[in-house]
Structure 1
Amino acid sequence: MNDSSAASAVLRYAAFTADPNGGNPAGVVLDATGLDGASQLAVAADLGYSETAFLTPAAGGDRHFAVRYFSPKAEVPFCGHATVAAAVALGERIGAGELLFETKAGPVPVLVEAGPGEVLTATLTSVEPHTEAVAPEQLAEALAALRWQESELDPALPPRIAYAGARHLVLAAATRARLADLSYAFDRLAALMTELDLTTLQLVHRESERVFHVRNPFPVGGVVEDPATGAAAAAFGAYLRELDGLESADLTLHQGEDLGRPGLLRVRLRPGDPRVRVSGTAVAIPLG
């Protein structure tokens, strides 16, 4: 497949929404056979979405795929919203059921289910997650790049780096107003994120015990802000499990409201399984 034919084969889906004007747009190439990494990056850059997923058939049957994810600037090991978009696109073509995506981060099972009105929902199961501390000087640099004060953080949700396929720095705003007012130093934050191997920052505000508002700066991908971020949602689930000692919980994350692209992410923690499940719908974006 050459670059021009790959570009024409790109499907466009909005993930974590049932509205093409909501959620996070993702590109999906259902058969990227013969398209090398440089060509995939070129297609993703031309499309301009925060991520594009490129699938190739893998051994193990017609529901098993190798998947690579590219932002307009670089490859990332895992992307949640493009996974949901790709799974729904597949479900529309080969039916609901279980899929297996082999990603750079590891194997990611995805279950596609049909709900009321035949709306498809995809639930991904992350690779095994973990969290780690962030050094004081790195936190200070992140806050300086964001133009936030440490006094504006929620002390009940301390800063951590969380991983569930990609690395994210979790910072919690004490107020919804602080989260809504996001204007950061793009290059300065990108430099810190490159140093720490971060994919996004997971900026959160806790509305209630299990309901959160979140935002995700993504300068390392060439994108000011990601409208709905499944990989970060999975990492945040792992963060909350460790912080609150949760064995089982259902979390609701609202994202994209401040961008005019509201999305809804469901995060599930289950007993006896450290992995995190993230669910959402997706819908095709009409051409033009």
Structure 2
Amino acid sequence: MSWQDVTVVDACVRRDGRGGSPTAVTDDDPAATDTDRRAVAAAAGTSHTAFLGPRRTPDGGWPVRFFTATAELPGCGHGTVAAQAVRLTRTALDELTDRQHTGGRTFDTTAIRRPTGIEVWFDQGLVALRHPAPNEHAAIITALGLTTNDLHPTDTPRIAAPGAPRMLVPVHDRSTLLQVHPHLDRLTTACRQYGLLGCFLYVPPAGDRPGAARMFAPAIGVDEDIANANSTGCLAAHLLDTTGAQTITIEVEQGDTLGRPASVLASAQREPAGITTRVGGLALVRDGHRGDD
């Protein structure tokens, strides 16, 4: 089928406007099949597509669905940044505060026009944390091609789930992070075996220096993600949990190995029900629309 008005958004660009994760955004077509939806990202030259629903859900959220070339995702952080940036551009407003419905959950979103782009924040909700079982840990570390010396000396891997679980893996330093070359077939098998979305390798923020990270998710068709906003929120939750602080805000740089420098912001705080997070990023909406078969 033909998709009209596909907009490409560079989501989570760096402070200077460089890079970002190219994400396709289009209005959903009720006549489309999921096979049709999976084809849009490849046609648009992006890893993900956000499909905007035509009407609100009963709880007041605007539905947004996310697809890669191989699967529908229960959520997508940089896709949410892209979707809400496009929604703001369709108005004359300087700021749009609303609700989005994705993956069975409705949450608050805010999009603000800035001189350098559109800043978007969204509530990620509760993030569940647990330590990986020994077999999970061994399978993932082996698939990533890491040795004991590559791992961070004081931080430890965690499983974090804002919905879909993923493993957070701290490494020794930025040099180690940039040199990781995972065995993608083994990683796909291990993630599917243990029900993981993927693996978020990171170096924690230190002082005023942002953290750095790489996200590998071959099990859902994304060998390496340019910017993974949801995992950045998970990292904020993990760091809050391990430091004992009441609130924390972090910035994590991503995408350098792919030539698309990106930056994601996240905050976490303790609430009676657990740790909740907000995730944000700056988006640049490209001029012009295109239709693809």
Instruction: Specify if TM > 0.5.
Output: yes
Distance in 1, Cα, partners of 2:192 & 2:137: 14
The CA deviation string for residues 224-278 of structure 1, in whole angstroms up to 9 with x for no partner, is 2101111111111222222222311111111112222111111112453732111
Distance in 1, Cα, partners of 2:247 & 2:41: 37
1:42, CA displacement in angstroms?
Answer: 2.6
Distance in 2, Cα, partners of 1:198 & 1:175: 24
Unaligned runs of 5+ in 1: none
Which piece of structure 1 moves more, 273-282 or 170-179? 273-282
1:186 to 184, 194, 200: 184
Q: Is the 8 A contact 2:42 2:69 kept in 1?
A: yes
Aligned CA distance change for structure 1 residues 159 and 126 (closer, same or farther; 3 Å): same
Secondary structure at 1:9 match in 2: strand
Residue of structure 1 in register with 2:51 after alignment:
54
The CA deviation string for residues 109-166 of structure 1, in whole angstroms up to 9 with x for no partner, is 1111123x27320001113211122111221111111111023211322111101233
2:11 to 11, 15, 28: 15
Aligned CA distance change for structure 1 residues 216 and 247 (closer, same or farther; 3 Å): same
Secondary structure at 1:127 match in 2: strand
Distance in 2, Cα, partners of 1:114 & 1:285: 15
1:67, CA displacement in angstroms?
Answer: 1.4
Report the TM-score, using the length of structure 2 for normalisation.
Answer: 0.88
Residue of structure 2 in register with 1:108 after alignment:
107
Taking CA–CA contacts closer than 8 Å with sequence separation of 6 or more, which of the two structures ends up with the larger relative contact order? 2
Report the TM-score, using the length of structure 1 for normalisation.
Answer: 0.89
CA root-mean-square deviation: 2.3
- Give the partner amino acid of 1:51: H
2:198 to 190, 197, 200: 200
Mapping 1:93-132, distance limit 5 Å: 93-94=90-91, 95=93, 96-115=95-114, 117=115, 119-132=117-130
Secondary structure at 1:126 match in 2: strand
Identical-pair percentage? 27
Distance in 1, Cα, partners of 2:27 & 2:236: 29
- Give the partner amino acid of 1:67: V
Q: Is the 8 A contact 1:76 1:199 kept in 2?
A: no
Q: Is the 8 A contact 1:78 1:105 kept in 2?
A: no
Distance in 1, Cα, partners of 2:218 & 2:286: 24
Residues paired across the two proteins, number: 282
- Give the partner amino acid of 1:10: V
1:200, CA displacement in angstroms?
Answer: 2.4
Mapping 1:200-219, distance limit 5 Å: 200-209=198-207, 211-219=210-218
Distance in 2, Cα, partners of 1:34 & 1:129: 35
Secondary structure at 1:22 match in 2: coil
Residue of structure 1 in register with 2:248 after alignment:
249
Distance in 1, Cα, partners of 2:194 & 2:55: 32
Larger helix fraction of residues: 1
1:20, CA displacement in angstroms?
Answer: 7.7
Distance in 1, Cα, partners of 2:116 & 2:68: 30
1:201, CA displacement in angstroms?
Answer: 0.9
Distance in 2, Cα, partners of 1:40 & 1:236: 30
